[in-house]
Amino acid sequence: MIRPHSLTLGQTGNCQREPQETAVTSPLRNTPTGVLSLSFLHPSGQNLEPQVAMSWSKEHVLSATPELLPFVVLAGAVGLLLIWVFRRQQKVWLIDQMPGPKGLPILGSALFVSVEPVELFKRVLSFCEYGPVMRVWIANVAYAIISGAEAVEVILSSQKHIDKSRDYTFLYPWLGTGLLTSTGTKWHSRRKLLTPAFHFKILEDFLDVFNRQSARMAQRLSGKADGKPFDIFPYVTLCALDIICETAMGNTVNAQDNSESEYVKAIYRIVHIIQMRMSRPWLQPNVLFKALGYAKEHDACLRTLHGFSQENISRRRQALRDGRGRHAEAGADDLGRKTRLAFLDLLLEYSEDGAKLSDEDIREEVDTFMFEGHDTTTAAVNWALYLLGHNPEIQDRLQEELDGIFGDSDRPITMSDLREMKYTENCIKEALRIYPSVPIIGRELKEDITVGKYHIPAGVTAMIYVYRLHRDPEQFPNPEVFDPDRFLPENCKTRHPYAYVPFSAGPRNCIGQKFALMEEKVMISHVLRKFRVESVTPRNDLELVGEIILRPFEGIRVKLVPRRDAETAPAMLKSRSDC
């Protein structure tokens, strides 16, 4: 028997067959000349290489190329295809080990999620019934929906899984690749650069802005404090917008007094368009986005927003160069008010000090703060007021704390007051648990991960469903009940560290969380030092829209009365809780 026919391609390209009756052991090896040869071992152990070697040189290959090329190319293509199919099947198999809906052929669950935002939020929530780790196919894209603390920890604590999901790309035209949307080395260097800008000492400077704008909000709310229902959402929003504009850019849009300003309208419109685009797959391809008329409006908003940011950058850069930078300016502005740094000034100083930040780079970051720093806080303050408005006893306790600190005075809030507001802080934390401003955090997995018994392959989009995570009854018994005492130190001891992540966690956590907590405390206490709040819409009737930010579909309807009146007419606002 001949095993195998040995094939020797000599230097001339001639091909000879030499039958050899022998057994074969490990025949393949490389020769030093780049020639591949086969060596054969006789059962006796003798190496028969000289007689039975298969080898070919470049020349042989070249001379055979014309006829073989199409076959080689085809074989290569088929080979690659098979490898791809095999690998893909392997991934599909791994993904399908996770529980999840069966879905339709090709479409998966695409039709199931092609619904209006309110319904979409409910449907995605229903997926979590499959367990803390589940999968869903939207056409050929696999999503892993994660709502268990152990699995959340694997993803958020990792230095590797820092890439945001595809949805964030719709923010690129506005925010570029600023801190929120960037990844890799760009993100690392920006994060390092920006972290000192959120130092406690710097935040202290912003307290004056928080106080002034919150006092203005409370003043505007006085006009509504007649016990009749109204939507408080726009009042909070405009105040948060004024705060972030002044702290990020050192300029004010006076949104509370001029909600019709071009900038204010553009910011609302663009956030709305982006959120729509994220939740409606048919708006995602650029062609359809243009064809359906959204691109034009989107781009007009962009021009207004970028124009405003750029104008501020140029103005502040010039001031810095003229020696009127933040340190020099720390005297008074045109109106005699004490001036303070803005994030923009810090970025400009870094750039003048040699950090390579162009105007465009600075704009990305300032726009990122404008976006990330106002919608999130707006939602958080609204939700806190809404929940307090449904829980009069808890509101009483909070107001007792405020009265203990401020008495009858309406003086501005100081840093030491903020430290004393422990119960207020727990109310804010509990509101962020029940209604986290960012209800879903998306990550593109670049490497395989193992969570519990599941192996999730790279390429899957992980969606951390914070809204559901915060309702795990094992971590938060009676999860729908608003109970700020859950955040007393003794009640947090046994909780999983990743069971509560309103500001995300790990390397990509929210850089602005201290800023946000301070701001929330100031805004809420300005309202509750003056008014009693009662929420109108029962929690069970509340419709939620969970896009980038978790919002009420139809605003937050409340009744307000001045606290002094509420004390004389307690029946009106102190009598009920329908939670």
State the residues that interact with ligand HEM by CB under 6 A: 164, 179-180, 191, 368-369, 372-373, 376-377, 380, 437-438, 441, 502-504, 508, 510-512, 515-516
Q: How far is the CB of 432 from ligand HEM (least distance, A)?
A: 6
The pairing of strands 141-146 and 454-456 is unpaired
- 351, 313 in Cβ contact below 8 A? no
Number of helices (H), then strands (E), in the chain: 23, 15
- 475, 499 in Cβ contact below 8 A? yes
172 vs 282, beta carbon nearer ligand HEM: 172
- 545, 121 in Cβ contact below 8 A? yes
Angle 379-382-388 from CA coordinates, rounded to 5°: 135
Place of tokens 């709040």: 533
Other CB atoms within 10 Å distance of the CB of residue 312:
20
Q: How far is the CB of 390 from ligand HEM (least distance, A)?
A: 20
148 vs 373, beta carbon nearer ligand HEM: 373
162 vs 451, beta carbon nearer ligand HEM: 162
Rg (CA), the chain: 32
483 vs 520, beta carbon nearer ligand HEM: 520
209 vs 394, beta carbon nearer ligand HEM: 209
Residue 94 token pair: 């791994």
Distance CA 442, CA 352 (A): 35
284 vs 504, beta carbon nearer ligand HEM: 504
Q: How far is the CB of 84 from ligand HEM (least distance, A)?
A: 31
Q: How far is the CB of 180 from ligand HEM (least distance, A)?
A: 4
Question: Is 510 annotated among the ligand-binding residues?
Answer: yes
Indicate the burial class of 466 (C-beta count within 10 angstroms; 0-12, 13-18, 19 or more): buried
**DSSP string over 23-78:** ---S-EEE-TTS-EEE--B-TTS-B-TTTS-----HHHHHHHHHHHHHHHHHHHHH
- Residue type at 417 in one-letter notation: D
Distance CA 355, CA 358 (A): 9
175 vs 573, beta carbon nearer ligand HEM: 175
- 239, 217 in Cβ contact below 8 A? yes
Sign of dihedral through CA atoms 417, 422, 426, 429?
positive
Q: How far is the CB of 108 from ligand HEM (least distance, A)?
A: 24
Q: How far is the CB of 502 from ligand HEM (least distance, A)?
A: 5
Q: How far is the CB of 348 from ligand HEM (least distance, A)?
A: 17
Distance CA 474, CA 469 (A): 10
Q: How far is the CB of 87 from ligand HEM (least distance, A)?
A: 29
> Which contiguous run of DSSP H or E holds residue 542?
none
Nearest residue relative to ligand HEM (C-beta): 512
**DSSP string over 309-375:** HHHHHHHHHHHHHTT-SHHHH-SB-TTSPBP---HHHHHHHHHHTT----HHHHHHHHHHHHHHTTH
53 vs 342, beta carbon nearer ligand HEM: 342
142 vs 342, beta carbon nearer ligand HEM: 342
128 vs 466, beta carbon nearer ligand HEM: 466
User: Smallest Cα–Cα separation from 552: which of 383, 374, 376?
Assistant: 383
Q: How far is the CB of 194 from ligand HEM (least distance, A)?
A: 7
Q: How far is the CB of 437 from ligand HEM (least distance, A)?
A: 4
Binding-site positions read 510
Binding-site positions for heme read 510
